[in-house]
Amino acid sequence: MEARSIGSVTWSDQAVSREQLLLVRLVLLASAGFLLALSGIFLVRRLVGAFEQPLAPGTLIVLAAVMTMLVAVVRGAWRRVSGSDTVSARGSELVLDVVLSLGVICLAASLSLPGSATVPLVVFWCLLVSGEFIGWSPYYRRLARQDRARNGDNGPQIEESPSAIDEPAHEHSAVAPHTTATLEEATEDDGFELLSSSVLQRITRAREENGVEVVYGVARCDFAVGQRQQNLHIAFCPPLERIPELTTDQIDGPIVRIKQSMVETFGAGLEIKLPAPSSEPTSVQVQFYACEKPDDCRVST
């Protein structure tokens, strides 16, 4: 089994130089710092009594909408240029979120003057709080996934849209419903027992009554600390006569997304991806079932 770590898609995967990425990061950091400095100045002036006249209701709501959009743009751009597969990237993202949130809170507090209309002021704060909640939601989702992974809660199989996950090298048609039933039948017949710590793959090749050959078994995928994605290769030796229909399912380890990157007569490739980089060495076990032709595969009754 050959495995290599593949990071998530970032702007650095495109034709963008390191100098340009650094410039973008500096601009985003400067924007967050400017917001924090400006909000600090406003808050100090509010505390010393420089602000006395409440803002018009419409002005309050427009300011909240503009501030929420600007903060969301800075957060989104930072996540695009920094990625999320390293400890340093996640740390810088957390620092930026804290700076932006402090800036938003201080500025909102300095503009919430006595005598302001109640309803517009409530809308003003609701917009800002909602924007911050949405901005921090990826951080809380990451913590929840890491907590489930530490507690060994595998949960249901992750289904992610293509926009959220790296596109595979090859696309394959969806697995037919009766092929999924075949995997379940093979599981019942042959056990699909978990692999021991020293075993990487266990493969069985059989011939059905109608002469069609099937290959099924279990394979292990190991993740080191900080790794999020691995490639898992399954060999069909000798090659099958036709490109098979492949069905997979996770049977052990933390939650992962399994995606077929290649299915050929000589073997198959799977992309195994964790929701977040692994905080400790861990392994995932995947069961698979390959049939030469879906119409010829056995179907459970």
Note the pLDDT tens digit of each residue in 262-284. Answer: 899 899 999 999 988 888 898 89
Q: Which residue has the higher pLDDT, 169 or 223?
A: 223
Within the chain, strands assigned E span 201-207, 213-223, 229-235, 245-252, 257-264, 267-273, 282-291
Can you give the pLDDT at residue 234? 92
| β-pair partners for 220 | 285
Percent over 90 (pLDDT), the chain: 12
* Residue in the block written with tokens 């073997």: 267
pLDDT at 218 over 90: yes
Can you give the pLDDT at residue 294? 54
Percent over 70 (pLDDT), the chain: 71
Q: How confident is the model at residue 29 (pLDDT cuts 50, 70, 90)?
A: confident
Helices 57-82 and 118-150 pack at an angle, to 10 degrees, of: 20
Residue type, 189: D
- CA–CA distances in Å: residue 41 to residues 33, 37, 222: 12, 6, 51
Q: Which whole number is the average pLDDT over 92-99?
A: 82
pLDDT at 189 over 50: no
| Cα–Cα distance for residue pair 257/156, rounded to 1 Å | 10
pTM of the shown model: 0.44
Note the pLDDT tens digit of each residue in 250-259. Answer: 888 888 999 9
| β-pair partners for 248 | 288
